[in-house]
Structure 1
Amino acid sequence: MVNETWCDERNIQELKSFCSPDLEFLTIKCRPHYLPREFSSIIITAVYIPPPSRHINGSERTLFNSLLCKLETIYPEAAFIVAGDFNKANLKTRLPKFYQHIDCATRGGKTLDHCYSNFRDAYKALARPPFVKADHDSILLIPAYRQKLKQEAPTLRSVQCWSDQSDSTLQDCFHHVDWEGKVSGNMTEYKQCSYSLRKAIKQAKRQYRDKVESQFNGSDTRGMWQGLQSITDDKKKSSPVTDQDVLLPGRLNNFFARFEDNTVPLTRPATETCSLSFTAAEVSKTFKRVNPRKAAGPDGIPSRALRACADQLAGVFTDIFNQSLYQSAVPTCFKRATIVPVPKKASS
């Protein structure tokens, strides 16, 4: 019953079938030749509910709902399509995340045939004449879904290629950099900014103090009380203190103090006992071993640049590494990493 030009038999798998006097359905999984990138497969369920039944009752309803919920958990990236003759039953009340796409009458002015899916605006339904002696009108479903790739506006990105002259250009730039001047210049600017910040904070505090004191000099009684409330941090009266409120600080103290362990003193290793150090030749040799095809870290520096400019960068990095060993402290930027979890299939 499946068009081979859309999906061949090798990519069709029967998942579940059920037949009873009140409910019949068949569920298959298809992996067609062409499929939107956001969907891994299509799970189709054909349903038939006999006319006497208005709802899926009892165990049949539980079985059908649990089946769809289980399949959604197993195949979270699949597209689900549930279609068939529902008569007067309605799947929307049981599965609110599904959308019904047939809005035209299929028999006697009523919509008895439904088509549900887990994505909005999937199809546009058009009524067609019934087949031969069938008592239901046929429905033509025209795909109206737009792929996410087409929904998003195209973006332009500029990519710079690493040419043969890039290595020599970058080496020449690092070779003429005055690292000592850069460090001293940055420290001077940092001290100036720190001084300006402290000065601005003191000035803001002085202005706030003058504002509060001015409320006592005038005849504004309301402003005076507002000033007192601001100074004393006085707020509205709270409810009477209960026994639970009195015991709350002790319970919080015991809760957070359980993480402390005073048996082991936190002592910092003496810096004078550290005899480990690196040389510029060792750092340069390590940089030249870096794999140029590895992705860059959080700093965005490509590994190819470290390898190409190993001799030019070895000196400044040697000073950083030795200072880190001497002070027994690792810079924060060295502790950052980009971690990409790669799922692995369970071994059979």
Structure 2
Amino acid sequence: MREAIEKINAKPRTCDIIVTGDFNQGNIDWETNTVIPDHYASKAAAEKLLDLSVQYNMQQMVTEPTRGDSILDLVFTNNTNIVNHTKVEPGVGDHDMVSTVLNLVIKRPKQPRRRIYIRKKANEEKIRQKMGEYQKTFADLGDLTVQDKWNHLDKEIKRTVEENVPTKFDRKSRGRTRRKQRLYNKAKRSGQAKDWETYREYKKECRRALNKARWEYINNDLGSAAKEDPKAFWTFIKSLRKEDNGVADLKVDNKLLTDSKEKAEALNNQLCSVFTQEDKSHIPSLGESNITNIPNLVIHEEGVKKQLLKLKPNKAPGPDGIFPWMLRMMAEQLAPILTKLFQQSIDEGFLPTQWRQADICPIF
């Protein structure tokens, strides 16, 4: 516990700490922060716990007994302002239950800005050259684990693409939007007709610029996408529809469900019903298998290259952020690298963490 608190306190910014659990130290008077004499519990452990709470400015919040006449289940914090209240309620075992309500604000992580690559302007010759040179670097990684080798390759692929494929980043449009907001704030504060007129004129200018960018996208990108990427084309067509009714009403057991929560529960129950709940307590013995063991698997470079070239370039990337078109573009250079990596993964029986992750989106 001391080591964990020291690691938290070593961070550059102050952190609120909550420590809870059954400490089994009934020989401490938490009103006076002293050890009760002639008690069966360890005096040395009680003194260590008190010293710890004083050293790190941790206050114990439970004031009612949690088992018999003793306070065994404790809640420590270095910031009492985040604790709304703490109370002891009847539990299901020999200990009562400690209920603590905290005043916390969840800080949501900022999503990284999405990079939209302009594949038509990619320097494919430079990309293939860089990845061809990387083959020797990868071979020199030697005895590193599959995870470390994949991390190295992952960074190299992304770095090569970022250096040789431009992205759609309209700095002017974003600047216009920020300036429009500043003009609106100024007009709202002053209330003067002149400021409001300036804001309205600039708003019209922004609208004209956005419409121009929209039509450039439709004429230059969306026209070719009708054949190369039909999904993007039909996504745009769908966005023009005005209505969005969501999930239609469902009829379950002759009852029409219109409420969103009821429809969600009905769909969840249907999903759960298709899974078989088997009795695992009595698993029959199948005896010895008469099927021969699979021989050692050998990954061939030509097979890897063939699979890379079969990737659909317009598909979305997975959690690793590597697009299929990137792998397909570098298929010839990546094939020998991935062949060695796949073979090592099979031989060692280990998959890198990123290979076990996936983005799953339920579709109605």
> TM-score with structure 1 length normalisation?
0.28
Q: From the two aligned structures, give the one with the greater helix fraction.
A: 2
Instruction: Mark the structure with the bigger radius of gyration.
Output: 1
Task: Name the structure with the higher strand share.
Answer: 1
Higher relative contact order (CA 8 A, sep 6+): 2
